[in-house]
Amino acid sequence: MESGIFTRLPFTRTLVKQGPGTSACTQCRALFFLSPIAWEDLQAPCVLRCPGGTFAHPPSRRCRKPPAAPVKTFYLQFKFRSTFQDFVGDTIIQESVLNTTAFVLGLALSDVRGYKMEAVEEEYGIVVGNGPPLLSVEVISPFLSKDEADQISMNTWFGAFEVPVDEVKSFTWDQMHPPLPPLPVPPFLPTWAWGLGTSASAAILLLLPVYCCYFRRLANTRRKYRPAAGVDPTFMERVVNESDARLVQRFVARDSGAQLMREAD
């Protein structure tokens, strides 16, 4: 049946199965999560920290086992409007930061933990002595990603903390854990070997000129002259063939006379 531009559809009755009601379910307070043995259990103890192997599931407020996908860790860094000394000496404020972070993210206290606390050393280009504190919180949850945490407004964070927060930053695992610098390449020779080689080379370069220019020349000056013991046949042949005949006769006669004198003695 049509009426104007609208069409009347036939009426159908749908049966909706109602649950057991809120009275049959366990109601957990803020920061507490239901820890059932089986996922379908309606009643179970409420815990602040989920048991080992389980994580808080924000939509259902239950502790669940993680899916097969790997659990990605991210970090939240808060800059508070206070001094570093006030935060270091007050453990109640530090615990309050973890409790508030878990409450805003909808996670259990077992899913958030303190990672690092440091002071701002320089602000607006000015070095400060007791600067504002920077608290980094580690978040481990397979049911909450970093992108979902980034959607939380600054007004929500500012209104949740007891101490005013001025800045909230998020970091991934790789950003908080940069790779280590590469190890230096080992040298071809160790340092002591280079030192030994340099010393030996310097000693050789220093002593070699001294040996060649001083010690050898000094030794040559102290050497005595010794004539050659052998007789050069070429020299004797030239003397016999090219000398004057009288000189040769006189030399032979003198040598023969000297020999006769030696025999007579």
Q: Name which CATH class applies to 67-176.
A: alpha beta
Q: What percent of the chain has pLDDT over 70?
A: 78
The burial of 208, by beta-carbon neighbours within 10 Å (0-12 exposed, 13-18 middle, 19 or more buried), is given as exposed
Model pLDDT, residue 31 = 82
Distances (CA, A) of 45 to 20, 41, 205: 18, 11, 88
The burial of 77, by beta-carbon neighbours within 10 Å (0-12 exposed, 13-18 middle, 19 or more buried), is given as middle
- Supply φ then ψ for residue 34, to 5 degrees: -75, 130
237 vs 149, higher pLDDT: 149
Model pLDDT, residue 7 = 46
How far, in whole angstroms, is CA 247 from its chain's centroid? 101
Query: How many CB atoms sit inside 10 A of residue 102's CB?
Result: 24
Model pLDDT, residue 97 = 93
pLDDT in tens, 71-105: 889 999 999 988 888 888 888 999 999 999 999 99
251 vs 162, higher pLDDT: 162
Model pLDDT, residue 138 = 95
pLDDT in tens, 122-161: 766 666 677 888 999 999 999 999 999 999 999 999 999 9
The label of the residue with tokens 């920077």 reads: 134
